[in-house]
Amino acid sequence: MEIIIQHSSMTPIYEQLVQQVKRAIIQGSLKENDPLPSVRSLAKDLKISALTVKKAYDTLDQEGMIATVHGKGSFVLAINPVQKREEQLKVVQSELEATVNKARIAGISDEDIKELLTIVMEES
């Protein structure tokens, strides 16, 4: 699992970590019962605080994406199809929002954005 932290991002580091682990689970690169790196080793690898990694793992635990077993580590849980679909929709919505914002910043009208989306969908 490759995690890239963008220190210049407005998104808090723990949220970046949560988003990337979720994405790996949803896309299937992390599967049920796969172990996650220990809090300390991931913190060391990413050069971030262990408390930040712990906060991310706690969030993932609360959302039912992983389970943490004291003394054993954190493991990926099975994701039900409905939850997987909801998470996939959230990811796509987030990416579309970012794209629309970039287009608006570039001065592209909403009508042109819609037309471009239609073209892309027809060509895919």
> Residues 75, 35: contact at Cβ < 8 Å?
yes
Query: Domain-by-domain residue ranges, the chain?
Result: 13-76, 81-123
The predicted model gives 26-38 an average pLDDT of 94
For residue 92, what are the CA distances in angstroms to 35, 39, 51, 85, 95? 26, 29, 29, 11, 5
Across 18-32, 33-47, 76-90, 109-123, least confident range: 76-90
The predicted model gives 10-21 an average pLDDT of 96
Per-residue model confidence as pLDDT tens digits over 75-97: 999 988 888 888 889 889 989 99
Residue 26 has pLDDT above 90, yes or no: no
Q: How many secondary structure helices (H) and strands (E) does the chain include?
A: 5, 2
> Residues 32, 78: contact at Cβ < 8 Å?
yes
Among the four given CATH numbers 1.10.10.10, 3.20.20.140, 2.60.120.10, 1.10.3720.10, the one describing domain 13-76: 1.10.10.10
**Residue 20: what pLDDT?**
95
